Amino acid sequence: MSAPAVPQPLDDARAPYARPARRAGTPVTAAYARLGEVLPFLAVTELGPADPLPAAPGWVAAADLAAGGEALDGYLAWDAEQVRRTYGEDARADVVASFGLHRYAWAACLLVTVPWFLLRRVPRVPVAAVALHRNDDGSRTRVAVRGGGFACLPDDPDAGLPGARVVPGEEALRAEVRAAVAEHLEPVLAAFGPRMRRGPRALWGMATDEVVEGLWYLGELLGEEERAMAEAARLLPGNGPATAPYAGGAAFRTLAGPAGQPLATRDRASCCMYYTLRPEDTCVTCPRTCDSERVARLAASS
C-alpha cells in the first residue's frame, strides 16, 4: 500500500484565515498575542518606532550579534554552558554556534511567518529592530521588536494605514515573507557562519529549515497542521530563482504508519549537529534517520 500524498497547497481563494476584529496595538499585535498563547515560553513585546531596544542585562541586540565580537561571544557562552549542563560534556565550538543560531533564528522567523499565517500581514523586521533575552535555564525567551511597515493584500482593512504596502495577491505576499526573513537573517548568518564552519548554501539551508519547521510546529499547536504544511510548501517549493537565497524547500512527504495511517515528515536541508552529542538519537527529520525509524518514532508519538 502506498503512502497517502502530502496535502496539497490550498487554493488562494480558499485560504482559511480570518482576521480578528480591530484591537488596540499594531496591525500584527493580535498575531503575536496568539503566538504567546500557544507558545508561552516565547514572549514578543512590540516597541514603538522611536523606542530603543532593551539594553538591560541579559538582552542582546540582533545587530550586535550580526556585528560579531564580544556580543556574539557572550551569546554563545550561554549555549556552551547549556550544553554542558544538559549533556554533561562540552560541545565543539561549531556545534555550539549551530545551536545558538538555531535558537535565535527559530524565534526571529516567527516574527514574520506568524502574522503572515494568521493575518496575511508581513512585517519588515530588519536586524536593527530586534533584541532577544533568554533566562538562565532556557525555559523562556523574550523578543523585543520595533514596529515598522508591513505588506498586506488589497482587501485588508488596514491597507490604508501609514506603513502599509499593498501587494496584488498571495504569491506577491509570499515573496514579501521570503524577503523579510532574508533581510533579517542575512547579516546574522554572515556573523555565525565562520564560527559554524559552514558556507552560504548550508547556512541558507538552515534558514529554510527554521522557516518551515517553526511554521509547521505552530500549525500543529493551532490545530491547523495541514494548512501550515500547505502554506510552507507554497512559500518554499524548492530550489529556484524565485526562492533564492533559500536552499531547498519545505520537502514534506507522507509515510504510511503500521495501520496505514498517514505520518507527515520532511527532510531537513541542513544538519542541526545534535548527532555530535547523541549519535543514537538523531532528529526525526534528519536525513540520517531512515524511513523505518521515522515511522516507528512518529507512530509511537501520535
Ordered DSSP codes for 153-217? -TT-TTTTSTTEEE-SSHHHHHHHHHHHHHHHHHHHHHHHHHHHT--HHHHHHHHHHHHHHHHHH
Q: Given its phi and psi angles, is residue 44 left (phi above 0), alpha (psi -120 to 50 degrees) or beta?
A: beta
CA-wise closest residue to 143 among 162, 123, 173, 165: 123
Q: Which residue has the higher pLDDT, 22 or 271?
A: 271
Q: Dump pLDDT digits (tens) for 113-148.
A: 999 999 999 999 999 999 999 987 778 999 999 988
Looking at every residue in the chain, the average pLDDT score rounds to: 89
Q: What's the whole-number mean pLDDT along residues 266-277?
A: 88
Where do the H-state alpha helices sit in the chain? 29-38, 62-67, 70-87, 93-119, 170-196, 200-221, 225-235, 291-301
Predicted confidence at residue 24, as pLDDT, reads 58
In this predicted model, what pLDDT tens digit does every residue of 160-193 receive, in sequence order?
Answer: 999 999 999 999 999 999 999 999 999 999 999 9
**3 state SS of 133:** strand
- CB-CB contact of 232 with 220 (8 Å): no
What is the amino acid identity at position 281?
D
Residue 130: strand, helix, or coil: strand
